[in-house]
Structure 1
């Protein structure tokens, strides 16, 4: 087995373990490359079928191509696609782009709060009707207690403190100092009732590994990652008011891999174009302690 084979096998094992251990589980799909690789691994783990609902938090400020890509792929692959939102904040324009609050407060409202209440079933959820491709109210309001997330340890500082099976409290708050040890691929999956658990099958993957795997498996991803003639492309995707592209002429996966191997981005953080990271002291720990991905 080569390195990608080993990473794939470990991730598939964690996905199957999570599905076996947690009765009410979902997978977060942010539409980016990492969570799309995670989705691809789930299809491998369950032989072409994804028995886990996918959840996306829609801020209404995502780049339009992201939403179109999400819906096209969900309909094509017949995925259980669900989205939630902070409809009150959006309706009242209580957001950073509308000039009401700062970026961190906006992320807390549109992402952290929306995620927490979507997972708990306290706020409305919408599910894709796979006969029409349109979204309808989701009548299932059960709380998701296990959540599979496509974060990587090398992506930014706070994520390097995660475990494969990482507990949160009932409010989704994360106690960084209270993480279970994980030795010799032995994972703690037995938690107290009411514990919210995040599962991270991609924790050991790097940005380069992700792109190499996308190339090897020919995984369909959004074209926003490629230069489309402007000499720029997105390296990390998020809300358009807070995300800027990088200088790059890479038009395909092979050229992105070459950029990563040549050192073009060796000293530039992957999320350097995400303004909320800078506003959070150069990282995401404040937001992530409150439930952000």
Structure 2
């Protein structure tokens, strides 16, 4: 497992480098396996304490078990947990589940726009109160200028074009063809004022690496990833109207690892169950250049 040690060390180094170089830092937590591994690494990097807020963009269409898992870990691990929403789009039912827009436009409204306006502080944020266990309107609306994200290069085509320290403009727009070079372990952390930075500590990890690390570290995962007896499980988590479970009998981490190594998913794309990817022709680059995670 030396390769897991190397991946862990590099990710921890990037997390510490980000914390030392950027103010007003936060980390996105989607509650999925990748961002939960990232959260675990952050706790390791800072000796059990996560020194920046966790931000979740709640579309209001997440599988309920995901939200329960989020809040349970937030309280157990004493996380500074924040969520944001596009409340206007939800109230006006400008969503795909309501039948009023396409999947891609729904993602733009509920994810991309909600993310940008939660990060810049223009929209209301909700912060967990550890005394009551409830969320309250956050009085702090300072913009987050650096955001740690748990994306992997192998997950989807546009993500393979990212850098470890990836600059965006003040509106979170991503210039795919205008990125700083990163040679070996020389990371550029010197950007012009007003630049919004995305930090990607998991860029080198694969889906298999993630599950092997989950096994080694015994990281708690939402049970949706495992077959509960109906011959199905989720391989990738998202909004329930657009994310389908896969046919699988894997009931635990060992069986998922076996599926990825030699089984039915060894040559099938991880996001094959995401309908919005198919609607966009199999790529998310247009969404991601506008700020999508």
Cα distance in structure 2, aligned partners of 1:280 and 1:146: 28
Listed one character per residue, the Cα deviations across residues 205-238 of structure 1 (whole Å, up to 9, x for unaligned) are 0000000000000000100000001100000000
Cα distance in structure 2, aligned partners of 1:63 and 1:96: 16
Q: Residue 246 of structure 2 corresponds to which residue in structure 1?
A: 246
Matches within 5 A, 1:90-239: 90-239=90-239
SS of structure 2 residue aligned to 1:238: coil
SS of structure 1 residue aligned to 2:272: coil
Q: Residue 85 of structure 1 corresponds to which residue in structure 2?
A: 85
The number of residue pairs the alignment matches comes to: 293
SS of structure 2 residue aligned to 1:271: helix
Q: Residue 39 of structure 2 corresponds to which residue in structure 1?
A: 39
Cα distance in structure 2, aligned partners of 1:233 and 1:163: 31
- Residue 266 (structure 1) shift: 2.1
Long gaps (5+) in structure 2: none
Q: Residue 270 of structure 2 corresponds to which residue in structure 1?
A: 270
CA RMSD of superposed structures (Å): 0.7
Q: Residue 22 of structure 2 corresponds to which residue in structure 1?
A: 22
SS of structure 1 residue aligned to 2:270: coil
Q: Residue 64 of structure 1 corresponds to which residue in structure 2?
A: 64
Cα distance in structure 1, aligned partners of 2:279 and 2:185: 36
Find runs of 4+ consecutive structure 1 residues off by over 4 angstroms.
Answer: none
Cα distance in structure 2, aligned partners of 1:30 and 1:280: 21
Cα distance in structure 2, aligned partners of 1:196 and 1:281: 28
Cα distance in structure 2, aligned partners of 1:158 and 1:189: 22
Matches within 5 A, 1:41-56: 41-56=41-56
Normalising by structure 1, what TM-score?
0.99
Listed one character per residue, the Cα deviations across residues 77-127 of structure 1 (whole Å, up to 9, x for unaligned) are 010000000000001111000011000000000000000000000000000
Listed one character per residue, the Cα deviations across residues 54-93 of structure 1 (whole Å, up to 9, x for unaligned) are 0000000000000000000001101000000000000111
Long gaps (5+) in structure 1: none
| Counterpart check, 1:256 vs 2:256 | yes
Cα distance in structure 1, aligned partners of 2:30 and 2:59: 11
SS of structure 1 residue aligned to 2:259: helix
Matches within 5 A, 1:275-286: 275-286=275-286
